[in-house]
A = this chain, B = another copy of it.
Amino acid sequence: METATTARLVLLVVLVAGSAWAVQAAADESQKAPLIHALRPMVGSAGDLGRRGGVPCDSWRLAVEAYNKRDWRTVPADCEGYVGHYMLGGHYRRDSRVVVNEAVAYAEGLKLGGKGKEVWVFDIDETSLSNLPYYATHGFGTKPYNATSFNAYVLEGSAPVLPETQRLYNKLIALGIKPVFLTGRTEDQRAITVANLRRQGYSGWMKLLLKPVGFKASAVGFKSGERKKLVDAGYVIVGNIGDQWSDILGAPEGARTFKLPDPIYYIG
């Protein structure tokens, strides 16, 4: 457990970094990348992970993103610094931007049927909203999931927007594709979730689908079931975006799926 002071300090860093996201993106474009010898890529902030027989954190992250690493419980302890820097620096934002650029290009190329039946499924946590203020004070995924403290955080309704996702969201609305939120958050969190989404600038969604309280199924089972209901109701899921493979696996997946980065936690 952190002391309140430590927690406050870390949170301050997060808030500063959070509000600097737009600035950071611009800075990325204007700064020269440093001259780093490419044969010795960064493997984490600990510096000597490899020598100590630890995990090469960038390879671990790649294995997570490419779905080679599954059913993992926590970020390797050695990688807390690496993941923290990844999330707070420009790297996470830049990786997200490339994913959203692909999604926008795909959406712009779609021929719509003209009957307003096309929908796009958005996950919420780490896709539409960021829980980084929480995870920054809880070890960046190196500590086991704590439902009590995490749900308390959710109920604050203060999660910041993920700006790249919002760019896609707004683009889709402009194109005439309807956003549907589909989340593992439970029905009893509907009001605060709506408030949080609105505060962060989201509006105009077609549906917000939450999990019934006490619902027992895997994330894939719940989410693919909800997508099937959409399809059965005559909607065409042209796209589906989430930070977990469980957001985008399981028929009907959607015509095209997009996996945003998330090196902090795994939901199976």
Q: Which residues of A contact B (CB under 8 A)?
A: 28-45, 47-51, 53, 55-56, 58-60, 62-63, 65-69, 81-82, 85-86, 88-91, 94-95, 97-99, 102-103, 257-259, 261
Q: A63-B95, A68-B99 are in contact. List 8 more A-B contacts (CB 8 A).
A: A33-B43, A34-B40, A38-B86, A41-B91, A62-B98, A65-B65, A66-B261, A68-B98
A60 contact set on B, CB distance < 8 A = 98
Q: Is the CB of A63 within 8 A of B98?
A: yes
Q: Is the CB of B36 within 8 A of A36?
A: yes
Q: Is the CB of B38 within 8 A of A51?
A: no
Closest residue of chain B to A69 (Cβ to Cβ) is B102
A92 to chain B, nearest CB (A): 10
Known contacts A42-B38, A67-B259, A68-B102: A95-B47 contact under CB 8 Å: no
A44 contact set on B, CB distance < 8 A = 33
Question: What are 18 pairs between A and B in contact, CB < 8 Å?
Answer: A30-B50, A33-B49, A34-B42, A35-B47, A38-B85, A38-B91, A41-B90, A56-B98, A62-B95, A62-B98, A63-B95, A63-B102, A65-B65, A65-B66, A66-B259, A68-B99, A68-B103, A68-B258
A55 contact set on B, CB distance < 8 A = 98
Closest residue of chain B to A41 (Cβ to Cβ) is B91
Closest residue of chain B to A83 (Cβ to Cβ) is B38
Closest residue of chain B to A95 (Cβ to Cβ) is B59
A48 contact set on B, CB distance < 8 A = 32-33
Alpha-carbon separation in the docked complex, A259 to B67 (Å): 8
Q: Is the CB of B56 within 8 A of A32?
A: no
Alpha-carbon separation in the docked complex, A50 to B95 (Å): 13
Q: Is the CB of B40 within 8 A of A94?
A: no
Alpha-carbon separation in the docked complex, A201 to B63 (Å): 27
Known contacts A39-B89, A85-B39, A89-B41: A31-B59 contact under CB 8 Å: no
Q: Is the CB of B69 within 8 A of A53?
A: no
A48 to chain B, nearest CB (A): 5
Q: Is the CB of A47 within 8 A of B33?
A: yes
Closest residue of chain B to A102 (Cβ to Cβ) is B68
Q: Is the CB of B50 within 8 A of A42?
A: no
Q: Is the CB of B38 within 8 A of A33?
A: no
A69 contact set on B, CB distance < 8 A = 98, 102
